[in-house]
Amino acid sequence: MFRRSGVTLLEVLLVVGILALLIGLILPAIQKVRESALRAMSQNNLHQLILGLHNYAAAHGDGLPGLKNWDGPITNADDQDALFKVIIRGRFLEANVDWASLNPEKPETFLVHILIDAADPSWAAKPTLTSMSEGNCSYAANPWAFQGPGRKLSTGFPDGTTQTIGIAEHYMRCGKENAEVRGEFQWEVSAGSRGTTQRRATFADPYYGDVLPRVSPGFSTLPTVRDATFQVAPALADCDPRVPQTPFRAGLIIAMMDGSVRTIKPGVDPIVFWAAVTPAGGESDRLD
């Protein structure tokens, strides 16, 4: 009499359990590698953007492009509403952007990939949203570093370029899809556009009601909203356009005015963070 060979239910359950355990161990490692790759891409974007500003300064007698003060006249041709447009149009980026290919009748052409953080959840939610001659942007310039006509890169930062933030991560849109968008950050904005739905890609911008540093020379710099700094991986519905956001739990990736790219860890002292926003506050606190 022959005995039929096979596996028992217990053996099947044991194999399934082992596979589930292995998957549970592997998935976090895969997610960690993926996040590391996305962080590296965002760091590279920021590095190229800040180098583009350095290239601009090298071609303009050490002068930086300006950001127009909403309350005053444009003082020169490069005092713009859209800082990133200046370096894109002037071909100051290492990653070549063909300005001639940007077609107002084809909004998708305004998706300049160096200005898109692939980890930005608002980009993932609706990656083709553009509006005519404007393009979405996952990064925000610090207007405190660029306002004022003819600021020099070498002499315009009494606190030091190593201690002044130039560009930071920022969700390109705040708000749920098909719901009210409280802030849509554009790398190009028409001169007459001052609405709070679409806005220039900046943070700590007085015109839009952003959180601002209270500058007291010789004293600590505090934010206008108590304890505010930046948001770490917020849901789109909880995104606050008044402060920067990062999709990464490790912290906010920033480009300093000296050309370096760094990460500010969650829980940073607000005094230290906002001191790094002002270029000449005279604060003693330093960003580690």
In this prediction, residue 191 carries a pLDDT of 44
What would the mean pLDDT of 68-79 be, rounded to a whole number?
52
Q: Between the CA atoms of 63, 207, 102 and 62, what dihedral angle is there, to the nearest 10 degrees? A: 0
Q: Is 263 contained in some domain?
A: yes
Residue 103's alpha-carbon distances to 85, 86, 88, 90, 224, in angstroms, are 14, 17, 14, 17, 40
Q: Is 2 contained in some domain?
A: no
* Domain count along the chain: 1
Instruction: Please classify residue 72 by burial: count the beta carbons closer than 10 Å to its beta carbon, then call 0-12 exposed, 13-18 middle and 19+ buried.
Output: exposed
Domain of 237? 9-275
Confidence of residue 74 (pLDDT cuts 50, 70, 90): very low
Q: Is 284 contained in some domain?
A: no
Q: Is 285 contained in some domain?
A: no
> What amino acid occupies position 132?
M
Other C-beta atoms lying within 10 Å of the C-beta of residue 161 = 18
Q: Is 286 contained in some domain?
A: no
- Residue 231, SS3 per DSSP: strand
Q: Is 33 contained in some domain?
A: yes
Average pLDDT, the chain: 80
For the stretch 199-237, pLDDT in tens is 888 999 887 889 999 876 667 788 999 999 999 999 988
Q: Is 283 contained in some domain?
A: no
- As a whole-number percent, the residues of the chain with pLDDT over 70 amount to 73
Q: Is 282 contained in some domain?
A: no
Q: Which of 223, 219, 218, 243 has its CA nearest to residue 232?
A: 243
Where do runs of H (alpha helix) occur along 131-220? 143-146
